[in-house]
């Protein structure tokens, strides 16, 4: 079967199954572009890729995918990109990780109508129809929060500190202060699911400062254990918070994150329920 014929068959098949006629919207600052499953599966650069240790499914997976950077023309390495999922998850990923990949490469996996993906763990629904996956993620320390699934939109953003001033630490702190480092860790890990001081794009988890900061009601050792393995503190089958092992969050990054959270407990904003 020729490449053109394969693309035409995929296009016809996807169009015949409205259940999978999902759309992905990409806004890079010069108009919203909309892609549907059929268009993406029929692209010349679509190919089969293998993911040995998939973050969402916890096992090897094989996907039909396109290089993510091919969909992000005009984005510079200095930009920030927001990936918003239908379940409220919102991951901010530096464009530099995608545009200037050295080892790790980001792909947009597209669920094929003829080969639907398996269900996720109980209570987490379906990962499709779009999912950002990475080949060789360890080479660039790609964390689990940088694998957004159930993807609906991608947007180019201004720097996070400009958009959400209430999450910034004290401006008097030096750039190399542990709290400043923890602020960067917070943006990379926690901000994908949580707001802070009522600010942020995510709607999956509770606010981490109002009415109470977790450093105010959990001992340090318990908070560390909870971040590493949430089920070790509260066994809840429907819990959605992932654990962060030392590969995803080093001990020094954990120290910095907790320093930032403790610092922000003294910088609450006025909050009205």
Interval 171-200 mean pLDDT:
91
Q: Are residues 205 and 150 in the same domain?
A: no
> Counting Cβ atoms within 10 Å, is residue 83 exposed (0-12), middle (13-18) or buried (19+)?
buried
**Do 70 and 195 lie in a common domain?**
no
Same domain, 175 and 95: no
pLDDT tier, 247 (very low <50, low <70, confident <90, very high otherwise): confident
pLDDT tens profile 39-63: 999 999 999 999 999 999 999 999 9
**One domain for residues 133 and 175:** no
One domain for residues 208 and 136? no
> For the segment 62-89, what is each residue's pLDDT rounded down to a tens digit?
999 999 999 998 888 778 899 999 988 8
- Both 112 and 171 in one domain: the answer is no
Taking residues 8-34, report their average pLDDT. Answer: 69
DSSP string, 107-151: EEEE-BTTBPPPP-STTS----SEEEEEESGGGGT--GGG--BSE
The answer to whether residue 269 sits within a structural domain is: no
In this structure, the answer to whether residues 12 and 30 fall within a common structural domain is yes
Residue that wins the pLDDT comparison between 264 and 245: 264
Check which CATH number belongs to the domain holding 235 and give it. Answer: 2.60.40.420
pLDDT tens track for 119-160: 987 667 889 999 999 999 988 878 888 999 999 999 998 777
With respect to residue 43, please indicate whether it lies within any of the assigned structural domains: yes
Q: What confidence category does residue 20 fall into, taking pLDDT thresholds of 50, 70 and 90?
A: very low
The length of the chain in residues reads 273
Residue 175 CA to residue 211 CA, distance in Å, equals: 28
- Sequential DSSP letters for 51-114: ETT-TTTSS-EEEEEEEGGGG-TT--TT-EEEEEETTS-EEEEEHHHHHT-SS-EEEEEE-BTT
- 125 shares a domain with 169: no
Longest Cα–Cα distance in the chain: 65
What is the rounded average pLDDT for all residues in the chain? 86
One domain for residues 136 and 194: no
Domain residue limits at 65: 3-157
Q: Which two tokens stand for residue 271?
A: 């909050």
Q: Does residue 271 lie in a domain region?
A: no
Q: Provide the number of structural domains found in the chain.
A: 2
CB 139 within 8 A of CB 104: yes
């Amino acid at each position: 079967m020729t490449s053109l014929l394969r693309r035409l068959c995929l296009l016809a098949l996807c169009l015949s199954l409205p259940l999978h006629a999902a759309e992905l919207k990409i806004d890079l600052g010069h108009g919203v572009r909309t892609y549907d499953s059929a268009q993406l599966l029929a692209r010349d650069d679509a190919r089969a890729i293998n993911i040995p240790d998939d973050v969402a499914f916890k096992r090897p997976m094989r996907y039909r995918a396109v290089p993510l950077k091919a969909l992000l023309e005009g984005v510079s390495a200095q930009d920030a990109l927001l990936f918003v999922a239908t379940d409220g998850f919102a991951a901010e990923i530096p464009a530099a990780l995608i545009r200037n990949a050295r080892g790790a490469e980001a792909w947009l996996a597209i669920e094929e109508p003829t080969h639907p993906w398996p269900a996720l763990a109980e209570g987490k629904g379906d990962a499709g129809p779009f999912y950002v996956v990475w080949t060789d993620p360890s080479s660039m320390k790609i964390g689990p929060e940088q694998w957004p699934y159930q993807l609906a939109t991608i947007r180019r953003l201004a720097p996070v500190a400009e958009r959400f001033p209430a999450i910034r630490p004290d401006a008097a702190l030096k750039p190399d202060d542990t709290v400043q480092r923890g602020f960067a860790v917070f943006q990379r890990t926690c901000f994908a699911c949580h707001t802070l001081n009522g600010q942020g794009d995510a709607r999956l988890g509770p606010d981490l400062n109002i009415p109470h900061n977790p450093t105010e009601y959990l001992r340090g050792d318990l908070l560390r254990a909870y971040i590493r393995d949430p089920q070790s503190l509260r066994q809840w089958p429907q819990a959605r918070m992932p654990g962060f092992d030392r590969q995803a969050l080093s001990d020094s990054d954990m120290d910095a994150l907790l320093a930032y959270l403790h610092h922000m407990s003294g910088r609450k904003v006025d909050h009205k329920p």
